[in-house]
Amino acid sequence: MAQRIGIYPGTFDPMTLGHADIIRRGSRLVDKLIIGVTTNPSKNPMFSTEERLAMVKREVESLRLGNVEVKGFNALLVKFAKREGATVLVRGLRAVADFEYEYQMAGMNQQLDDDIETVFLMADVSLQPIASKLVKEIALFGGSINQFVSQRVCEDVIARVDKIGRMGDY
């Protein structure tokens, strides 16, 4: 029987506890889960692609999941999936707004390659409000992000904020 390979794509800027939850749970659904770290032209990343790749690799190693690997890509998701032999796309959902966007993306991906299925995983209730964008905003305004990211990611974000400067009056 062929190995079932899944892809969990994202920018992971930065990687949150919500991402880690989806990785843990998604890894149970497939024989091999590839975390695809990508660029998104509509986002302004805090970390470079290389920095995000290193961050995600470090965080995934700490999860101690034997069937998960991390790869960078800069292509259409379905082309990356095909190149990796993946037939499953894993996507995390936090709220209705996520569903609308992800539903549209799943439909477009199906139009591009109907051999690839999209599987949606609901975020753990305690992790649903966490979004990388909000984590960055909180950090930039001097707030604590400890409850949203691992200790190492928190250190990475704080170091970056110290380098680029905080915003607002705090």
Q: What is the pLDDT of residues 29-56, one digit of tens each?
A: 999 999 999 987 777 899 999 999 999 9
Candidate list 27, 52, 91, 132, residue with the active-site label = 132
Q: What mean pLDDT, rounded, does the chain reach? A: 93
> Is residue 48 among the annotated active site residues?
no
- How far are the Cα atoms of 78, 90, 126, 154 from residue 82, in angstroms, in the given order? 6, 14, 34, 34
pLDDT at res. 169 = 59
Asked whether residue 60 is domain-assigned, the answer is yes
Q: Domain range for residue 112?
A: 5-126
Asked whether residue 64 is domain-assigned, the answer is yes
Asked whether residue 79 is domain-assigned, the answer is yes
Asked whether residue 151 is domain-assigned, the answer is no
Asked whether residue 66 is domain-assigned, the answer is yes
Nearest to 102 by CA among 4, 24, 17, 22: 22
Candidate list 43, 79, 133, 166, residue with the active-site label = 43
Candidate list 19, 52, 91, 136, residue with the active-site label = 19
pLDDT at res. 42 = 76
Residue 118 belongs to domain with CATH number: 3.40.50.620
- Domain tally for the chain? 1
pLDDT in tens, 79-116: 999 999 999 999 999 877 788 889 999 999 999 999 99
Asked whether residue 67 is domain-assigned, the answer is yes
Asked whether residue 160 is domain-assigned, the answer is no
Asked whether residue 170 is domain-assigned, the answer is no
Q: Is the model's pLDDT at 1 over the cut of 80?
A: no
> Is residue 28 among the annotated active site residues?
no
The number of CA neighbours under 13 Å toward the Cβ of 24 is 13
Asked whether the beta carbons of 103 and 131 are under 8 A apart, the reply is no
pLDDT in tens, 125-168: 888 888 999 999 999 999 999 999 999 999 999 999 999 888 86
Candidate list 24, 58, 94, 160, residue with the active-site label = 94
**Residue 117: φ, ψ to 5°:** -100, 145
> Is residue 132 among the annotated active site residues?
yes
